[in-house]
Amino acid sequence: MGRRRERLELAPLYDPDPADLDIGRHFEEAVSWLKRAQDAGDDRGVSYGLRFGEDFDLSYPETTGYICQTFVELEEWSHDRDLLDRATEMAHWEADIQLPNGAVMGGKFNREPTPAVFNTGMVLLGWGALIRRTADERSTAAARRASQWLVDIQQADGSWTDGNSRFARSDATVYNVKAAWGLCEAGVALDEPHFVEAAVRNAEFALSRQETNGWFRDCCLYDPTAPLLHTLAYSMQGLLGIGRLTGRSDLVEGAARLADAQIRLMGPDGFLPGRQRRDLSAAVDWCCLTGAAQTSIVWADLYAMTGEDKYRAAAHVVNRYLMARHDVRNADERIRGGLAGSWPVWENYGRLQILNWATKFLADALHREIRASG
């Protein structure tokens, strides 16, 4: 099927109502979709997502890890035991498929796995959250092995040049600082200071790649000259997470530098360009919905830390943009509640697909606004 025909036939299958901005409904539908994505397969991982009109794909170890973190956090807020049970199942599945060296596999679940630094850090976010919540023994053992693998292969400057996923460029992985946040979370949960110290070294390396306007060099899966907002936001999230855990104000300031630039770049309707050049100008005219949701999370967390209203206001605007492009009325339960990767949906991030991580980030973003509003 040609790209034009594909767009004409598949794009209409995703049909959001731009007038429906009920934040509670959008939040609940996103969480429900994540549950269905977990229940879709033969294991207790969460499906990667799906192409419009098709069935759920295989489970995705990387993102199952940070969906586990989300479910733990939501259970602490809602006291819904089902969320904690699901998070525990995710964490145990991750332990079952962990590689002998302690790493997490790259890509979707497969029988010929290769290690991936970033994916390992993402699963550490889930294991760390569950350890703090329940002292889960299987997660404790798995997290210790994974953390030690990351430390063992780390370069002296704090970067990781070995062990990067074969599914992405290995020379532009500054966004690995979000994996370092997972290492830091695990270090705190396990009371292992050397894991925290290794995470801080990577955060310092990431800061060394930041321009004065907030933009990061060497920070994209495919094109470091015009990185995805998705990977730029990973870097913000990683610096902010490590800075918050360690009290390092310089790391928080690094995240805020780019977060402030995104406020200035955002359109009145909440549009953020999906790729951004070194001068923080738009490299494309489409939105990476995934990265926009991540940026909302960063703004909400900065608001919680600083009380500066500009962050609360920015998160509210971008959340409305996201909800207007989130299909919560579809009769097809494979689509309803899931978030597309980009807008328009035929653009070049998650093209014509629902992505589990986009949906997870939307749920996180909306949950923060709901929680902040009392």
In tens, the pLDDT along 212-240 reads: 999 999 999 889 999 999 999 999 999 99
* Phi, psi angle pair for 287, to nearest 5°: -105, 135
Q: What is the pTM of this model?
A: 0.97
- Angle 289-306/249-265 helices, nearest 10 degrees? 130
> What is the per-residue pLDDT across 274-322, written as a single tens digit (0 to 9) for each?
999 999 999 999 999 999 999 999 999 999 999 999 999 999 999 999 9
Contact (CB, 8 A) for 317 and 309: no
pLDDT at 167: 64
290 to each of 9, 154, 273, 305, how far by Cα in Å? 23, 28, 11, 23
Domain boundaries in the chain? 3-372
- Give CATH for domain 3-372: 1.50.10.10
Model confidence at 1, pLDDT cuts 50, 70, 90, reads low
| Partners of 324 in the β-ladder | none
DSSP summary character for residue 339? E
Average pLDDT over residues 260-282: 98
Q: How far is CA 305 from the centre of its chain?
A: 20
Contact (CB, 8 A) for 220 and 213: no
Model confidence at 170, pLDDT cuts 50, 70, 90, reads low
SS3 287: strand
Average pLDDT over residues 21-41: 98
Model confidence at 168, pLDDT cuts 50, 70, 90, reads low
- Tokens representing residue 74 in the block: 């939501």
